[in-house]
Amino acid sequence: MNDDETQRGTEPERAAVNRSPRWWRRRWVQVTLTAVVVVLVGLVIGAAYVIHNEEPLVRGRVVAALSQRFNSPVELDKLNISLLQGIEVHGRGLRIRYIAGPTAPDHESNVPMLSVASFTFRTNFTELLHQPMRVEHVSVEGMELHIPPANQRGPLIHHDDPGATPTKVTFLVDRISCKDVKLFIETSKPGKDPLEFDIQKLILTDVGATQPFAYEADLTNPKPLGQIHATGHFGPWASAEPRDSPLDGDYSFSHADLSTIKGIGGMLSSTGHFSGQLGNITADGTTDTPDFSLDVSNHPVPLHTTFHAYIDGSTGDTTLDPVQAHLLHSDFTARGKVQMIHGQGHDIALDVDMPHARIEDMLELGVKTDPPLMHGALTLKTKLHIPPGHVRVAQKVELTGNFAIHSVGFSNPKVQDRVDSMSMRAQGRPQEAGAAGSDRQAEVQSEMTAHFNLGHGVITVNDLHYKIPGALVLLNGVYSMDGNLFEFKGHVRTDATASQMVSGWKSWLLKGVDPFLKKNGAGLELPISISGTKGDVNFGLALNGTSNETPEQMKADLKAKAAARKGFPQPPKH
């Protein structure tokens, strides 16, 4: 036998080898595979059994927990359990019903108090069987919460009545993450829109049935457009009256674009704290707008405010009491109310008090003329009204009040020289009038008081008393906020007589007419007119009795002049 035959073995040996079973045909392997298949089938059957039996259990716990918490019937369209990634629960169409007025049986709409488009959470077999069932995290999308007025709530399930048997807590959640949340605080007042909050992101932590839970929210404010971030505490939920549910928090409002409100501009930021109940909130905060402006002038100025406010969840109205504001070198206080008008916006009515202000600051903000026409210390009290409507603020703002300006000086040297010259003559110092009226220096300061109205971009001035050394000027007039046109007419009364206001031979000639020009205890009284366009001011005598024109008549004059400047025919005078 050679070596090759030895290595291959004998024929009987090779046949025995070929008759031995393959490894997968061995009995122990088949028994093992059968056991594995049986286990897998058992697991599938067991999972199916668990899913089949636990879905109603989980559904019941979710419904019972929410029904207990909100004292209201609860509906859940669909709930599924998946084992692909642990035990994952998916729910759709969650609604909490009759506590909301719109869902009362006699109401025409079908909006639930709370609705959720979908929610998801994960758990394990131990928690599924545990009582109460605890979930670490729930993800929610598409939530709407409607808080109705007390007189529109539907019937309640009184789980929390005194003496009632406490309902056992069946479901606890550590954290809830919500996307696309809408909160509506409804009102029963006719013509009022509900308070509406569109919250992009809301995180609730330490959610419990009987204690407050923490929240963190991000939302976009529509007008002025900007981002709000708030953190605080909410609850516990007041089932009998949801508006009584406690609420507190701190907020930051950043990059609020005021140009989204017609007629104003600037980038506002605000921080503050709020507390109270859902239907009655008190807020304290500050705002900073380094470039606040009105489009009628387009002169940005820094504005800082500190405010204390009350928000009424029943009407959506906000009471400001007070707002302390600082603009350039001026301080003022405002108190009043901001009301929501159905389909129109906000109606703002404030009482404004300016004990320490500067007239140049107000002109810088509100008038296009640059530099401002005058400067001086300003005290002012006025009622500010901005009615609702989709028009520019400058077109609809209304002001009615009184002001006093002390130590008045004029920015235009030509105007100041004329005032200086007039003062010298009115004091009986005509020899100094020429120099004072041509040196481009301010020799005198003046005082001014008046009653005014602002509406439709025009300031109407009544009973203006303008006092300079030696003279008192009594005027009525109108002034356009764009600085293009103004007109004032009235009388000037001087201490000196006509003859004392000039020198030389002219003085001798006028001595004979002095008795005829003396009126109302003054040495001289003459009708005057002051008019102009922007920096060009004209002084003169008012003729043909026009010194007694009313501001309304002067408004007509201004409109005629504006039409003439644009090349349009002038309307007839009446």
- Residue 501: count other Cβ atoms within 10 Å of its Cβ: 25
Q: How confident is the model at residue 312 (pLDDT cuts 50, 70, 90)?
A: confident
Phi, psi of 313, rounded to the nearest 5 degrees = -70, -15
Nearest to 292 by CA among 260, 320, 268, 323: 268
Q: How confident is the model at residue 194 (pLDDT cuts 50, 70, 90)?
A: confident
Burial of 419 (0-12, 13-18, 19+ CB in 10 A): buried
* 240 vs 4 pLDDT, higher one: 240
3-state secondary structure of 505: helix
Q: Is the pLDDT of residue 99 over 60?
A: no
Q: How confident is the model at residue 234 (pLDDT cuts 50, 70, 90)?
A: confident
Nearest to 403 by CA among 327, 469, 352, 472: 352
pLDDT, tens digit (0-9, with 9 covering 90-100), for 332-343: 999 999 887 777
CA neighbours within 13 Å on the CB side: how many for 549? 27
pLDDT of residue 185: 77
Residues 6+ apart with CB under 8 A from 490: 464, 473, 474, 475, 476, 477, 527, 528, 542, 547
Q: How far apart are CA 78 and CA 125, in angstroms?
A: 21
Q: Is the pLDDT of residue 428 over 60?
A: yes
* 11 vs 48 pLDDT, higher one: 11
Q: Is the dihedral of CA 350, 351, 356, 360 positive or negative?
A: positive
Q: How confident is the model at residue 495 (pLDDT cuts 50, 70, 90)?
A: very high
3-state secondary structure of 93: strand
Q: How far apart are CA 5 and CA 35, in angstroms?
A: 45
Peptide bond into 355 cis (omega under 30): no
Phi, psi of 307, rounded to the nearest 5 degrees = -135, 155
Residues 6+ apart with CB under 8 A from 245: 234, 235, 236, 237, 238, 277, 278
Q: How confident is the model at residue 100 (pLDDT cuts 50, 70, 90)?
A: very low
* Lowest-pLDDT choice from 13-17, 271-275, 350-354, 535-539: 13-17
3-state secondary structure of 547: helix
Q: How far apart are CA 338 and CA 179, in angstroms?
A: 30
**Amino acid letter for position 476:** N
Using H for helix, E for strand and C for coil, what is the string for 368-409?
CCCCCCEEEEEEEEEEEEECCCCCCHHHHCEEEEEEEEEEEE
Which secondary structure element, helix H or strand E, spans residue 456, and what is its range? none
Residue 248, beta-bridge partner list:
233, 275
Across the range 403-408, mean pLDDT stands at 94
Across the range 405-413, mean pLDDT stands at 91
Nearest to 372 by CA among 337, 330, 336: 330
Question: Strand locations in 87-170, DSSP E?
Answer: 87-96, 114-123, 133-147
**Amino acid letter for position 94:** L
Q: How confident is the model at residue 21 (pLDDT cuts 50, 70, 90)?
A: low
Residues 6+ apart with CB under 8 A from 538: 529, 530, 531, 532
Nearest to 168 by CA among 181, 158, 157, 159: 159
Q: How confident is the model at residue 8 (pLDDT cuts 50, 70, 90)?
A: low
What region, left, alpha or beta, does residue 171 occupy, with left being phi > 0 and alpha being psi -120 to 50 degrees?
beta
pLDDT, tens digit (0-9, with 9 covering 90-100), for 178-192: 999 998 877 766 666
Q: Is the pLDDT of residue 118 over 80?
A: yes
pLDDT of residue 168: 56
CB 491 within 8 A of CB 474: yes
Across the range 425-430, mean pLDDT stands at 93
Q: How confident is the model at residue 220 (pLDDT cuts 50, 70, 90)?
A: confident
Q: How far apart are CA 539 and CA 415, in angstroms?
A: 9
Q: How confident is the model at residue 562 (pLDDT cuts 50, 70, 90)?
A: low
pLDDT, tens digit (0-9, with 9 covering 90-100), for 481-494: 766 777 888 888 99
Q: How confident is the model at residue 55 (pLDDT cuts 50, 70, 90)?
A: low
CB 243 within 8 A of CB 313: yes
Place of tokens 């995290």: 137
Place of tokens 């004091």: 427
Q: Is the pLDDT of residue 34 over 80?
A: no
Q: Is the pLDDT of residue 522 over 70?
A: yes
Peptide bond into 224 cis (omega under 30): yes
Across the range 428-453, mean pLDDT stands at 91
Q: How confident is the model at residue 292 (pLDDT cuts 50, 70, 90)?
A: very high
Across the range 159-188, mean pLDDT stands at 70
pLDDT of residue 278: 79
Instruction: Give me 305's structure tokens.
Output: 């405010």
pLDDT of residue 173: 81
Instruction: Give me 307's structure tokens.
Output: 């405010």
Domain ranges (residues) in the chain: 48-101+109-153+167-315, 412-432+452-566
Q: Number of helices and strands (H, E) in the chain?
A: 11, 24
Q: Is the pLDDT of residue 444 over 60?
A: yes
Q: Is the pLDDT of residue 414 over 50?
A: yes
